[in-house]
A and B are shown apart, each in its own frame.
Chain A
Amino acid sequence: MVRFENVGMRYGLGPEVLRDISFNLLPGSFHFLTGPTGAGKSSLLKLLALSHRPSRGLITLFNKEVSSLARDDLPAMRRKIGVVYQDFRLLDHLSALDNVALPLKLAGAKNDQIYQHVAELLEWVGLGRQVDAKPPTLSGGEKQRVAIARAVINRPQLLIADEPTGSMDAEMGLRLMYLLQELNKIGTTVVVATHDLELISRFGNPVMYLKDGLLTTRAQDNPPPKESKDPA
């Protein structure tokens, strides 16, 4: 599903923010990605989300080597990936409903199908009454839930979430983690970047630990490590 081989990444001519990253995520796996602030978690997620290219090494997604992909192949690949950004990245002028509907619209789904699914999902994440609300009028937690709904609406094969519960209360955070688990059970590969060690220990999934751009715990085929050191 996802394979990184000696991947390095730098922004422009700056220093490498990721160094010699190698791991393999099996289809249907669920991993946490953690590490101190500035360790390179967001950069790793950018590579997974196909928003940036590595400066060296090989990345294989869905059995295709990313550097060999033509530009025209990228949209189809990205539609297989759902991303929940830490800063939500919602379109402020669109309603919650239209924000969540966007991936389906881009994939060419029909309007009647789109809006039925979207309304149901928004209901599930507790935003059934705010389908027409625009992001600036929503709280941080509500925006986060819209962002999660947008990421999962088209049943992605790979779901990446950057601090998905960061703006929510504990109950809603757990509820959303259960949603991610449900998606994982039906075959979606999930990677959740978080600082929340309690959350990591509660779910007990494999953990990738990043520090100074180096991956110290690799995701392997074998059972997940139980370690959960405080990154701070």
Chain B
Amino acid sequence: MIQFFGKSAELQLEKDVSTRYLPVVISAMIFLAALSIGGLFSLSKAISDWSETLTGNLTVEIAFDPTADLDKKVTDAVELLSATPGVAAARAIEQEETLKLLEPFLGKNAALGELPVPRLIEVIIAEDSAIDLAALNKKLVEAVPAARLDIHRPWLDKMVLLGRSIQLLAAGIMLLIGCVTVIIVIFAVRTGLIMHSEVIQVLHLIGARDNYIAEQFQNYFSRLSFLGALPGLIVAIIVMFIFNFLVSSLEASMLPPLSVGIEGAIALLLLPVLVALLTKYTVRQVVLKSLRRMM
């Protein structure tokens, strides 16, 4: 890898003490960036999954009433829904199944059986059907007065908004990490230029072009960035695996596991290359600008 990036033969930047800790800083930056990317892509995937699941899915809720025959109401509602054009299926959710949905919030040992839990019916809308949900709700309420059609839309909209906000935050964090990395690299390069000003002057006077000198700096610093980025990325991936393991072992279904998908995985793997390229470009600009001030 060192050969790939080239060595700074004349400037001997490899022996600089001032840049020794740059890989550590880059590593920390990449760790944070990788976690941000993990969050960004996981949320994106989660939002997409929610939308997909809930778009063709409705729930009918029949309010708890100890005096009413809830089973009959459920049966009536299922019959009405099944007979409605555009509805692919209507299924009454068993009481036990409903109570299981509450477990993550109330715990397994809670006295769930004593709760005034409403009865639920899962309705699946046929694909490409143009069903009038308002008319269906009206018809349902007329037939079964305690019934209410829940189309999930408001909840989904809020979740999508929340997800997008967090995505924006993650993108902002990425941008901040990029800016901080650039600033750190600029300071390191400027220090290097000062430390090696005599050698640079000699190289200039025996005919070295600015590009020749800039290449030695950019190769060295991009190598430092690349090699610093690798451990940061590896640690971030390990942390994501640990997070997923904890989520699954705690059965905490409120927290979705981190799942970045193929695009996210590619983005993560490209991080060291991108940071090396960003460093290379930054260093080149800084060095050429500084050299232009010399004769």
> Footprint of B on A, CB under 8 Å?
49-53, 71-72, 74-76, 78-79, 83, 89, 91, 93-94, 102-103, 106-107, 150
Is B122 engaged at the interface, CB distance under 8 Å to the other chain? no
Is B10 engaged at the interface, CB distance under 8 Å to the other chain? yes
Q: Residue-by-residue, is B53-64 near A (CB-CB < 8 Å gives 1, otherwise 0)?
A: 000000000000
Cβ of A106 and Cβ of B203 under 8 Å apart? yes
Number of cross-chain contacts by CB at 8 Å: 50
Is B194 engaged at the interface, CB distance under 8 Å to the other chain? no
Also in contact, A71 and B205, with CB within 8 A (given A93-B12, A94-B10, A102-B10): no
Cβ of B206 and Cβ of A150 under 8 Å apart? yes
5 A-B pairs with the lowest CB-CB distances in the bound complex, closest first: A79-B207, A78-B207, A75-B209, A103-B206, A75-B207
Q: Residue-by-residue, is B36-73 near A (CB-CB < 8 Å gives 1, otherwise 0)?
A: 00000000000000000000000000000000000000
25 contacts between A and B (CB under 8 A): A50-B205, A51-B204, A51-B295, A52-B295, A53-B295, A71-B210, A71-B292, A72-B209, A75-B208, A75-B209, A78-B205, A78-B206, A79-B207, A83-B205, A89-B198, A89-B202, A91-B202, A103-B206, A106-B203, A106-B206, A106-B207, A106-B208, A106-B212, A107-B207, A150-B206
Is B201 engaged at the interface, CB distance under 8 Å to the other chain? yes
CB of B23, distance to nearest CB on chain A (Å): 22
Cβ of A51 and Cβ of B201 under 8 Å apart? yes
A residues near B206, Cβ cutoff 8 Å: 78-79, 83, 102-103, 106, 150
Is B199 engaged at the interface, CB distance under 8 Å to the other chain? yes
Scan residues 246-295 of chain B and give those whose CB is less than 8 A from a CB of chain A: 292, 295
A residues near B208, Cβ cutoff 8 Å: 75, 106
Q: How large is the interface on B (under 10, 10 to 19, 20 to 34, 35 or more residues)?
A: 10 to 19
CB of A43, distance to nearest CB on chain B (Å): 13
Partner of A50, one of B10, B209, B295: B295
Residue of B nearest to A50 (CB): B295
CB of A47, distance to nearest CB on chain B (Å): 10
Residue of B nearest to A103 (CB): B206
Residue in A49, A93, A107 with the greatest tally of chain B CB atoms within 10 Å: A93
A residues near B210, Cβ cutoff 8 Å: 71
Q: Residue-by-residue, is B161-193 near A (CB-CB < 8 Å gives 1, otherwise 0)?
A: 000000000000000000000000000000000
CB of A102, distance to nearest CB on chain B (Å): 6
Residue of A nearest to B292 (CB): A71
B residues near A71, Cβ cutoff 8 Å: 210, 292
CB of A67, distance to nearest CB on chain B (Å): 11
